[in-house]
Structure 1
Amino acid sequence: MRTTDLSELAAFDAVARHRSFRRASEERGVTASAISHAVSNLEARVGIRLLNRTTRSVSLTDAGAMLLSQLSPAFGDIGSALDALNQFRDTPFGKVRINAPNSIAPFVLGPVIGPLIAANPNLELEIVATDRLVDIVEEGFDAGIRLGESLRDGMTAVKINPRLKLAVVGSPAYFERRRPPASPADLTDHVCIRNMYPSGVIYPWSFERHGEAIDIQVAGPLALHDHELMIEAALAGVALAYVWEDRARPYLASGRLIACLDEWIGPEDWLYLYYPARKYLSAGLRAVIEALRVR
């Protein structure tokens, strides 16, 4: 097979998986027009339309679906064969793409990035931090990081550090005007920042004590999904915030924020690095796992 043939097949495989020429171009590191040209050349060469294209969507024809079903395992075998060459190198070689929630990425990945790259100079990390719920298979990631409760079937999950805990925090100025809540029920008398997913869905503040679990739908003029913005609003004395304790820790230590309802905050949550159960484990991904996993 000619090199150009393999490149065209790889371009088609990327578009078919992502259902997007733009995302395929980002994965392949070329322009969307180059991907489109490669797919068009492939269709012209085989004499069959493989993709249905509109201005808003890309879908597979029956022929395209059949081709993808046979290409995916083949490209997986190629990737596995190339990765096997790592046994002849001192350190892993290649790219690893990771997705992580923006709200927790800094204190999960921040401490390990430097040592990981220093120990593996041939490793290339691409980290995309977003609180949007991402399908790592569809969007071309090797692995993702999430809380265990949001993992879906068909994934292998590895428990990683650190454990996370939430905190309810407010500024001294805020508590000069209002008595700190003694129980979650008291939050109905407080101004609170509503926690929001990027989709716009508001989620409750959750509490637990002595086996009793309570979800509170708080009220307030702000709805945010970024924990940094929540902390800034809390520092300004606008409202109480429900944020990851690690994010608030420097301000709690300096006294610029005060925590309340500590005895009602549930146990720390474990985080997991997850990847498709059927995916071969590259040497690069194994290095990432070893850097993050709980020992």
Structure 2
Amino acid sequence: MTRPSFNDLQAFVTVATRRSFRRAADDLSTAPSTLSHAMRALEERLGVRLLNRTTRSVAPTQAGFELLDRLQPVLTGLDEALEAVQVFRGTISGIVRINAPRLAATLLVRDILPTMAERFPDVVVDLVVEGKLIDIVAAGFDAGVRLLDSIPKDMIAVPFAGEVSFICVASPAYLERFGEPATPDELKQHRCIGHRVPSGKLYRWEFERAGRTMTLDLHGSVILDDEELMVDAAISGLGIVYVASPAAEAALQGGRLRRILAPWAPASEKIAIYYPGHRAVPPPLRAFLDVVKARRSE
């Protein structure tokens, strides 16, 4: 049997993990048809079917899963070995893939990426904006960004960007017309802009004061799934919104929004970068974390 090439084995792992020739082809910068032919040639060379194909999906066979389980740690170890020698080049290069919700991505673009571009110009930061909490390892990311309390316990977390509070805000025009609620209960008589989270559920508004907590299901005639749009809707006078403080910061400073129910704000939360602790940290990710830590200490 002729030993398969490294490229063929890497291609198989990509197809088997992505479960799609199209997505795998995008990752490998090749055509889906070329990748499909390569996988058939690999199966013929090994004398065993590795992938079950339909018109809509592709999935490993039992033999494919066995090969995948054995190849993944080998390829990971090879990548780590190649990355380890980068420090002897005098410069750090490569790609660091980060998964983050929109608000955190905005903070990264504003506070972290300019320093990354200056200090590590050969590192490419591939930032993917995604609202739902995912398995960053299975999805092929080096790190993710989430609220600290929502990060899985088996991950290493590095807080950044200070703390985030969830606040209620509305436009001055809205409050002049409809009045300002004095307690969370009075929100039930107001136009509240709902927030649909990635799971499809509506976000529940949480309040806290003097040890008393309160959670309310609130929404009016408008429901949105993006905090920037929610802030824009509030500025337009459509109602009251409950958002993370950085999302409304500029509008509050400019007087386009006013904060309400401040004494009822819940405890603030931290945003953190997180990454798996069971593997060596590749140099591009280490460089990214160094910038995050330096920014935090400023």
Task: Note the C-alpha offset of 1:94.
Answer: 0.8
What is aligned with 1:263? 263
Task: Note the C-alpha offset of 1:270.
Answer: 0.9
2:51 is the counterpart of 1:55: no
What is aligned with 1:129? 129
Kept in 1: contact 2:101–2:130 (CA 8 A): yes
Task: Note the C-alpha offset of 1:134.
Answer: 2.7
The amino acid that maps onto 1:247 is: A
More moved, 20-29 vs 237-246: 20-29
Query: 2-side partners of 1:2 and 1:160: how far apart?
Result: 51
- The percent of aligned pairs where both chains have the same amino acid is 39
More moved, 23-32 vs 66-75: 23-32
Task: Note the C-alpha offset of 1:3.
Answer: 10
- RMSD over equivalenced CA pairs, Å: 2.0
Shift in CA distance, 216/92, structure 1 to aligned 2, threshold 3 Å: same
2:45 is the counterpart of 1:45: yes
Query: 1-side partners of 2:152 and 2:112: how far apart?
Result: 26
Kept in 2: contact 1:18–1:140 (CA 8 A): no
SS at match of 1:218: coil
Measured against aligned partners, the alpha-carbon deviations of 1:171-193 in whole angstroms (never above 9, x if no partner) come to 11111122211111111111111
Kept in 2: contact 1:51–1:59 (CA 8 A): yes
More moved, 113-122 vs 144-153: 144-153
Query: 1-side partners of 2:247 and 2:284: how far apart?
Result: 29
Superposed counterparts of 1:237-256, under 5 Å: 237-256=237-256
The amino acid that maps onto 1:64 is: G
SS at match of 2:195: strand
**TM-score normalised by structure 1 residue count:** 0.93
SS at match of 2:208: strand
SS at match of 1:202: coil
What is aligned with 2:224? 224
> Runs in 1 of length 4+ with deviation above 4 angstroms?
1-4
Kept in 2: contact 1:103–1:131 (CA 8 A): no
The amino acid that maps onto 1:38 is: A
What is aligned with 1:182? 182
SS at match of 1:220: coil
The amino acid that maps onto 1:271 is: I
Kept in 1: contact 2:107–2:161 (CA 8 A): no
More moved, 46-55 vs 146-155: 146-155
Q: Which runs of 5+ in 2 are unaligned?
A: none
Kept in 2: contact 1:18–1:138 (CA 8 A): no
Measured against aligned partners, the alpha-carbon deviations of 1:2-39 in whole angstroms (never above 9, x if no partner) come to 99711111011112222222332233233333332322
Query: 1-side partners of 2:93 and 2:22: how far apart?
Result: 26
Kept in 1: contact 2:4–2:42 (CA 8 A): no
The amino acid that maps onto 2:216 is: I
Task: Note the C-alpha offset of 1:207.
Answer: 1.4
Shift in CA distance, 69/291, structure 1 to aligned 2, threshold 3 Å: same
Query: 2-side partners of 1:109 and 1:3: how far apart?
Result: 45
Query: 2-side partners of 1:2 and 1:242: how far apart?
Result: 62
Task: Note the C-alpha offset of 1:120.
Answer: 0.8
Query: 2-side partners of 1:2 and 1:134: how far apart?
Result: 39
Task: Note the C-alpha offset of 1:153.
Answer: 4.4
**TM-score normalised by structure 2 residue count:** 0.92
Query: 1-side partners of 2:55 and 2:221: how far apart?
Result: 39
Superposed counterparts of 1:129-168, under 5 Å: 129-168=129-168
The amino acid that maps onto 1:144 is: G
Matched positions, count: 295
Measured against aligned partners, the alpha-carbon deviations of 1:48-71 in whole angstroms (never above 9, x if no partner) come to 111112233322211111111111
Query: 2-side partners of 1:286 and 1:4: how far apart?
Result: 33
The amino acid that maps onto 1:281 is: V
The amino acid that maps onto 1:242 is: Y
Q: Which runs of 5+ in 1 are unaligned?
A: none
